[in-house]
Amino acid sequence: LCEAAIPLESDFKTTGEAIRTVKAGEVIELLEGPKKETYPPGLRVKCKTTTADAATGWLTVQDKAGTKYAEADNRYYNCVSSVAMTDSKDIKDCKVVRKLAVGELFLVDEEPHQVEGAGIFRVKAKAIKDDAEGWVTTKGNAGTVYAEPSGKHYSVLVAAPLTQKFSSADSGEVVKELSVGDAVMVLEGPKEEVYPAETRVKGKALSDGTVGGISLS
């Protein structure tokens, strides 16, 4: 007899999809179990969005089922020196769109290419700050590095909430709902999140004959 509403899932393991919610007071026939189920640790990061609101909170990168919600995105480059963004790849025949400041971010779609005869590396870029587009030198002919992959930026692969607290079980209020393709900058982590073992059973709801897995704890 269910004392509270709980999800009835398609698989004995919690990786199964929820079939329906078993209501309080429903009777479940035990078919298998109970069994203890343990999980590998998940990964959470403290991050802020790259949008104007700069919303900050905790995001699940990978959960206990192995689902990836976000991953490092090397398309984001960070300026380590002030550098010009120009309207053409050819440095001998171009105009300056504007200067990119130290610490400024831009987005690329491909790796920087070496310019023949010039000994420099250039890439087509889009500034995060104002969407300005043009060509940027990432490395000069004397070896000076002007911009490099951020290493701190992640792209969202599966829609997920940005929450106040680290624990996904007690995450506090939702700061912002993130959509597929959104970008965030990692401030802390990734940190492992340990999940407690659960007692699981396979059962059949007598009201409609639906069979699935249920967590007892």
| Two structure tokens written together for 207 | 């009201």
Q: Indicate if the pLDDT at residue 140 is higher than 80.
A: yes
Pairing of strands 18-22, 96-100: unpaired
- What average pLDDT score do residues 51-74 get? 93
3-state secondary structure (DSSP) of residue 208? coil
CB 125 within 8 A of CB 134: yes
Number of C-beta neighbours around residue 137 at 10 A: 23
User: Among 14-28, 48-62, 139-153, 199-213, which is the least confidently predicted range?
Assistant: 14-28
Name the pLDDT band for 216 (thresholds 50, 70, 90): confident
CB 69 within 8 A of CB 44: no
User: Among 8-17, 35-44, 108-117, 130-139, which is the least confidently predicted range?
Assistant: 8-17
Report if pTM > 0.85.
no
pLDDT score of 206:
92
- What average pLDDT score do residues 121-130 get? 94
- What average pLDDT score do residues 143-172 get? 94
pLDDT score of 43:
97
Per residue in 10-39, pLDDT (tens digit) is 877 766 678 888 888 889 889 988 999 888
- What average pLDDT score do residues 145-154 get? 94
Q: Which of 144, 103, 143, 139 is nearest to 123 (CA)?
A: 139
- Distance between alpha carbon 25 and the CA centroid of its chain, in Å? 39
Average pLDDT over the chain, rounded to an integer = 91
Per residue in 171-207, pLDDT (tens digit) is 999 999 999 999 999 999 999 999 988 888 898 999 9
Q: Which of 42, 47, 67, 41 is nearest to 154 (CA)?
A: 47
Q: Indicate if the pLDDT at residue 153 is higher than 80.
A: yes
pLDDT score of 178:
97
pLDDT score of 15:
66
Report the C-alpha gap between 142 and 86 in whole angstroms: 20
Share of the chain above pLDDT 70, in %: 97
Report the C-alpha gap between 13 and 28 in whole angstroms: 17
| Two structure tokens written together for 19 | 């079939």
Name the pLDDT band for 116 (thresholds 50, 70, 90): confident
Q: Give, in order, the Cα–Cα distances in Å from 154 to each of 52, 65, 74, 77.
A: 17, 20, 8, 12
Name the pLDDT band for 8 (thresholds 50, 70, 90): confident
∠ at Cα 51 (123, 87), nearest 5°?
A: 25
